[in-house]
Amino acid sequence: MSQLLEAIDLVKRFPVRVKGRKKLLHAVDGLNFHIDAGETVGLVGESGCGKSTLVRLLTRTLDITDGHVRFRGQGIGLIAARAMADHPLRREIQMVFQDPTDSLNPRYTARQTIAEAVCLLTDTRGTAAIDSAVEEAAAHVGLPPELLDRYPHQLSGGQKARVGIARAIVVKPRLLVLDEPTAALDVSVQAVILQLLDRLKREMNMSFLFVSHDLNVVRLLCDRVMVMYLGQIVETGPAREVFARPLHPYTRALIASLPGGHGNDADLLVGGDPQSPIDPDAHRCRLFGRCPRGAERCETQFPPLREISRGRSAACHFVAPTEGDVYVDAALALHQIDVDPARRATVATEFERLASMATLVQAVPLPDDSLPAPQYRP
Amino acid sequence: MNPLLSVENLSLEFRTRSGIVRALENVSLQLPEGGSLGLVGESGSGKSVLSFAVLGIQDAAAKITGGAIRFAGNDLLADGGSAMKNMRGRELAMIFQNPRVALNPIRQVGQQIEDVLLRHTALRGAAARARAIECLSDVRIPDPERRYTAYPFELSGGMCQRVMIAIALACKPRLLIADEPTTGLDVTTQAAIMRLIRDLGREKGMATLLITHDLGLARDFCDNIAVMHAGHIVEVGATETLFRVPAHPYTAQLVRATPVGQERLEALASIPGNLPDLRRSDLPPCRFSERCELRSATCATPLPTLTASAGHVVACHHPQARTSS
């Protein structure tokens, strides 16, 4: 797959004054990640962790302090936020906002809202052509044509969410950024909208950046997930795998906090509020003080994000690959094959089980050019 | 044993310019001393209206047209609500949905706790202040002496919610009504607040009525769950029973629409249609029937109240069989 969007050492700092002294708020602090074409990436974290700042940096509505953003191989980090409105790129990156009621113009009908995007961002001209584009988008999101001439107050929450999605996809963007699109909806409606998004991503071959605090939803919709804490990515990996076997203590806490009895209480965060993002100590782990595992080392030595096993990274001193992980990675490298990320955890567990049953007589040595096949005793 | 709170066949209407909204109809529920009941349903189903009615703080346009609300044996509606004035805040307390809106923005949080103490207890001056600080430390707010003088805007959302809980618990109520206490909070904070409510409830032997649209949350924290739809209670049962063998088609669909524990997105069910307009004069006896897959001619006849098993009641002509176990 080709990379659609890439962020390199992305930084955003806001100047603030604390008791008259100039300081810097580190909202986004050196992020490196990419989104492939056709991929759905989930972005998870608490409020105040920098999710929204990151979204605004990627959609180029906020100027970048440092670092690079590449879109289809082209650097876009230097486009000024003010110039974005007239930039051809605006058509390629579209957003769906959190609250469908607040993000629709109350004096525009659904048709006018969707048509405005067509008029401003595409070359389509003429009433008939615009109408057919609007109706095509409406059909795509399952909005009945008779609702197109209604105003937002005449639509239900789910219908307004569909208008918001239709407005974004009518210009056929390559990247759709969704900022908590289901947070304001009832569960009964949420299910339909999630299924709609799942269908759209397959039909239209768009990439999604799905921002949410609901890991349950991210797990079902996304291919990959990035967990953010205080301006930094603390864990990434295939969504189902991260959910089934979280590595970073913060991810574990997020999962243990979910209603419905996942994880266990020992993983919950201790202590109260997070550290201040204003001039944070560069040598201290950001989770220090709230982390149930916190040790002395965490206060003096900052844990960078590092790869734990293929496709999975975490920023914690105490996360290490399991024996199973090592075997799987070695086997994959040897045979030059890939394994379905959803099944990887099962495979790794199975390896561990076999190893612990001591049926594996000759341990597979760590990656090396001459790996022997595992020998099993009958 | 007599229940602590008992709502019996309560009906409530809103008189509005566009017609009469029948917001609650024949609603009954019981909550034992020290127990916990979850009230779940979509927005607009009448959960908050019911809890406001229990506290006697419903909107001026609301009129209770029938039924009774009993608290520890006393009829709360009997004398036009004057008995309620002394009980509200002392025996029954409530945590509201949005702590930032519910707290007074221009009073220090400690003083807001003291207000309750001055109204309901004999504590005055330094003693009241000391008790207010004790309340802050009860809800595990670090450094309570310093936080006493904080204004709501200086505290995070989670801290504001703790202050609200402190206000509610200041007089050691016997019943706590929590109306969506964690909406708008992060999952990590939500977990901390819900555990706090549960632990304090156990410590003080307080009954809790939790109003939420999150079935997963109700499942984690309540002994029993009552499901509301369009002003009716459609099913009441023990939490595990309700999740394992939901009898009402609406409950079954709600359970299947919740992403908790689902393995695939396709497995999520959606509930077709919307809540019916409660101003209609031709509302069917079963207000869910127009959205229901199992609808038949009998649904136009008055609703039965069936007992599916001990303590498990359902208002439906076609309760679902024990399909899953």
Contact B270 A188 (CB under 8 A): yes
Query: Residue B188 is nearest to which of A214, A253, A261, comparing CB atoms?
Result: A253
Handedness of CA A310, A315, A316, A317 (dihedral sign): positive
Q: What is the DSSP letter of A192?
A: H
**Residue B191 three-state SS:** helix
Task: Identify the band that residue A359 occupies on the pLDDT scale cut at 50, 70 and 90.
Answer: very low
A261 interfacial to chain B (CB closer than 8 Å): yes
Q: pLDDT value at position A358?
A: 44
Q: pLDDT value at position A19?
A: 84
How many residues can be counted in chain A? 378
Contact B219 A216 (CB under 8 A): no
Which of these ranges, A84-93, A101-110, B157-166, B258-267, has the smallest mean pLDDT? B258-267
Classify residue B80 as exposed, middle or buried by CB count within 10 Å of its CB (0-12, 13-18, 19+): exposed
**With contacts defined as CB-CB under 8 Å, which chain A residues touch B192?**
268-269
Mean pLDDT (chain A) is 84
Is pLDDT of A299 > 60?
Answer: yes
Token pair listed for B260: 């908790």
Query: Could you read off the pLDDT of B64-74 as tens digits, one per residue?
Result: 998 999 998 88
Residues B70-98 have a mean pLDDT of 84
Q: pLDDT value at position B324?
A: 40
Query: Could you read off the pLDDT of B20-53 as tens digits, one per residue?
Result: 999 999 999 999 999 999 999 888 889 989 999 9
Q: pLDDT value at position A368?
A: 44
A260 interfacial to chain B (CB closer than 8 Å): yes
Q: pLDDT value at position B251?
A: 92
Residues A192-209 have a mean pLDDT of 90
> What does the alpha-carbon distance between residue A165 and residue A145 come to, in Å, rounded to a whole number?
15
Q: At what angle do helices B125-138 and B157-169 cross, to 10 degrees?
A: 120
What is the H or E stretch that residue B271 is in?
none
Which of these ranges, A304-308, B77-81, B248-252, has the smallest mean pLDDT? B77-81
Q: Are B259 and A216 a contacting pair, CB within 8 Å?
A: yes
B142 interfacial to chain A (CB closer than 8 Å): yes
Query: Residue A260 is nearest to which of B194, B219, B268, comparing CB atoms?
Result: B219
Q: Are A348 and A324 a contacting pair, CB within 8 Å?
A: yes
Of the candidates B37, B56, B57, which has an alpha carbon nearest to the alpha carbon of residue B102? B57
Our CA-based measurement puts residue A156 at a distance from the nearest CA of chain B, in whole angstroms, of 8
Q: How many other C-beta atoms can be found within 10 angstroms of the C-beta atom of residue A203?
A: 10
Token pair listed for B160: 């504001």
Query: Could you read off the pLDDT of B199-258 as tens digits, one per residue?
Result: 888 888 899 999 998 888 899 899 999 999 999 999 999 999 998 889 999 999 888 888
Chain mean position to CA A378: 46
Our CA-based measurement puts residue B271 at a distance from the nearest CA of chain A, in whole angstroms, of 5
The angle formed by the CA atoms of residues A67, A72 and A76, to the nearest 5 degrees, is 40
Task: Identify the band that residue A352 occupies on the pLDDT scale cut at 50, 70 and 90.
Answer: low
**With contacts defined as CB-CB under 8 Å, which chain B residues touch A273?**
156, 158-159
Half-sphere exposure of A197 (CA within 13 A, CB side): 32
> What does the alpha-carbon distance between residue A140 and residue A250 come to, in Å, rounded to a whole number?
38
Q: Are B269 and A191 a contacting pair, CB within 8 Å?
A: yes
> Tell me, what amino acid is at B199?
D
Classify B230 in phi/psi space as left (phi over 0), alpha (psi -120 to 50) or beta: left
Which ranges constitute the DSSP H helices of A261-322? 296-300
Query: Could you read off the pLDDT of A255-264 as tens digits, one per residue?
Result: 888 887 666 7
Task: Identify the band that residue A31 occupies on the pLDDT scale cut at 50, 70 and 90.
Answer: very high
> What does the alpha-carbon distance between residue A117 and residue A169 come to, in Å, rounded to a whole number?
9
Contacts of B56 (CB under 8 A, 6+ apart): B76, B81, B84, B88
Query: Residue B217 is nearest to which of A219, A220, A259, comparing CB atoms?
Result: A259
Which of these ranges, A64-78, A168-182, A359-373, B251-265, has the smallest mean pLDDT? A359-373
Q: Which residue of B lies nearest to A271 if distances are taken between CA atoms?
A: B142
Q: What CATH number does the domain located at B5-91+173-314 have?
A: 3.40.50.300
Query: Where are the domains positioned within chain B?
Result: 5-91+173-314, 100-172
Contact B270 A220 (CB under 8 A): no
